[in-house]
Structure 1
Amino acid sequence: MDAIPPEIWSEIFSFACTDDGSTGRALSRVSRAVQIISKSSKYQSICVLGPNQLLKLFGLLSALSPRARKVKYLFVACLDECAEFGGADHGAQTIRQFYLNTEMNATGQALEQLLQLVSPSLVALQIHRTKIYRQSVLLDMEFPVLSELTLHGPFKSTDPRPPECLFPNLRRIHIHHFVHHPTQFLQQIVRVAPKITHLHVPQRSFSAYDIQVALGILQPIVSSSELSQLPDSLQQLVIELEPAPSSLDSWASNIRGEQHRRKFHKISQRDARIRLADGRDDWIPVVEAKERWIS
């Protein structure tokens, strides 16, 4: 090891620490020399599952200096399906106790404070299967270097005009499974992330009219202040279509669903940037989401 400069080892460790945090923890136990050299990469990539890990990580990072807590890649999945990862020390019974005893407000505050700690260095963030309501379409805090954001779960859109350019370097946005759909969904995204290149959203996020105006296919018939065009930087828009109508649905529901699907198919033929994807009416399991994130 002495034959290679520490700076080279540091780069190697940085490339190695892109999993759920296991590699960083393992390197810190190899030797004192490796522990010191790999220290800057130890928390580079972290996976947090459940409120217990969330609170432990927050306490750990709070005790470190800003230079030592540079988290670049963060995956958070709170409460749902955490029992899948329960071991001898954190079995299903323990998970149930955390679920019952942890207040959602307290967990939400811990998540917000954790994100504030790591926001200066965060490059990629995925928040998956959480019942914590966020207050905006994306997140209402500044992430100066964040380039990729994936959000699964509900939000309450209380502020129709969030601060501008909270995500100056955000390029890829994937939003999935939320309940409340604001009337100014696209406007909020363009306002806070003006340089997006890839956007993946559910069909119900907007009407066929709204997306045609946003893409410049149609001219707006209302005030331009109420609608926004997507930026020229956009390279791909993936629209996750609603699941195909079921035989159990009402006749009227089937007709409406099919009409909406046809409208979006026609729109996709007019703009090569649009790709249609079949929607999933069930939640993506935490295990699958974690594997995608690591890969």
Structure 2
Amino acid sequence: MTIWPVELYSYVFQLACTDDGSTVLNLSLVSKQFREIARPFLYQSLVLSTPQKSGLLLEKTKNLLPHLRRIEHLFIAPTHDADHETCSPNNTIILRIVQLAAPTLKTLVLIAPCLITGTSLISFLFRLQYPNLEELTIAGLYPFSFHWGSFPRLTRLHFAGGNRNPHGLFQVGALDEAFPALTHLRVSGIARALSFVDEL
């Protein structure tokens, strides 16, 4: 069945498999050869929202070789019931998945609305190393202390909601050190933030 070199198929698969996973699954059904070529792209783009989905993903990926669990785009929105004081119990699972994905991540979106566990989840994520991360969006109460060298290639950073008045975000001085390649900073969801406006 091989008409072109495997490397060319692999490159085409990499470009094509950035959707919700349906493309890579369909390519895997074409032939045994296509299934083997598509395997490294099976987890390229992921959305995690339920404890069941997160737990299943961790079970499937924790023992895979790194080249077979190359996660490049990750969207995390743990379930949270605003009417109750309960949060998703799968933070440890989410943290483990992000640890496994951190070396290959290019985009990361974390929506952590839970006041009980969201802040600690975000704080932990800021302590990991992301050598290839280019875009980061955080929705939740984010810390102002960032670790130097964790985000060497990050160019786009979006703080969405969470801190309604992020006064002190620029005064700490950690943004320049933590995000040396930063070209775009967006802070949204602020209200009554005169002190933050003065800081700008």
Q: Which TM-score applies when normalising by structure 2? A: 0.82
Q: Does 1:119 align with 2:108?
A: no
Aligned to 2:10: 10
**Do the aligned partners of 2:138 and 2:159 also contact (CA within 8 Å) in 1?**
yes
SS in 1 for 2:66: coil
Query: What residue is the counterpart of 2:127 in the other structure?
Result: 140
Written as runs of structure 1 = structure 2, the 5 A alignment for 1:212-227 is none
Give the number of the structure whose alpha-carbon radius of gyration is greater. 1
Larger helix percent: 1
- Does the 8 A contact of 1:170 with 1:193 survive in 2? yes
Query: What's the counterpart of residue 32 of structure 1?
Result: 32
Moved more, 11-20 or 173-182: 173-182
| Cα distance in 2 between the residues matched to 1:139 and 1:8 | 36
Q: Cα–Cα, structure 1 residues 78 and 124, in superposed 2: closer, same or farther, change >3 Å?
A: same
User: Structure 2 matches for 1:33-182, cutoff 5 A?
Assistant: 33-80=33-80, 104=88, 106-128=89-111, 130-131=113-114, 132-133=118-119, 134-136=121-123, 139-155=126-142, 157=143, 161-179=145-163, 181=165
SS where residue 178 of structure 1 aligns?
coil
User: For the Cα contact (< 8 Å) 1:138–1:189, is it kept in 2?
Assistant: no
**2:109 aligns to what SS in structure 1?**
strand
Give the unaligned 5+ runs of structure 1: 82-98, 212-295
Q: What is the correspondence of 1:239-278 to structure 2 with a 5 Å cutoff?
A: none
Question: Which of 199, 206, 209 is equivalent to 2:198?
Answer: 209
Question: RMSD of the alignment, in Å?
Answer: 2.7
* Identical counterparts, % of pairs: 29
1:45, CA displacement in angstroms? 1.4
Change (3 A) 1:42 1:56: same
Deviations 1:218-275 (A, max 9, x none): xxxxxxxxxxxxxxxxxxxxxxxxxxxxxxxxxxxxxxxxxxxxxxxxxxxxxxxxxx
For 2:148 and 2:34, how far apart are their aligned partners in 1?
43
Cα distance in 2 for partners of 1:147, 1:6 equals 28
Rounded Cα–Cα distance in structure 2 between residues aligned with 1:165 and 1:124: 17
Residues 18 and 44, structure 2, Cα contact 8 Å, conserved in 1: yes
Describe the shift of the 1:150–1:30 C-alpha distance in structure 2 as closer, same or farther (beyond 3 A): same
2:197, 2:55 → 1: CA distance?
42
User: 3-state SS of the aligned residue for 1:151?
Assistant: strand
> Is the partner of 1:67 in helix, strand or coil?
helix
For the 8 Å contact 1:21–1:47, the answer to whether it is kept is no
1:198 maps to what in 2?
Answer: 184
Q: In the TM superposition, what is the alpha-carbon distance from 1:73 to its structure 2 partner?
A: 0.9
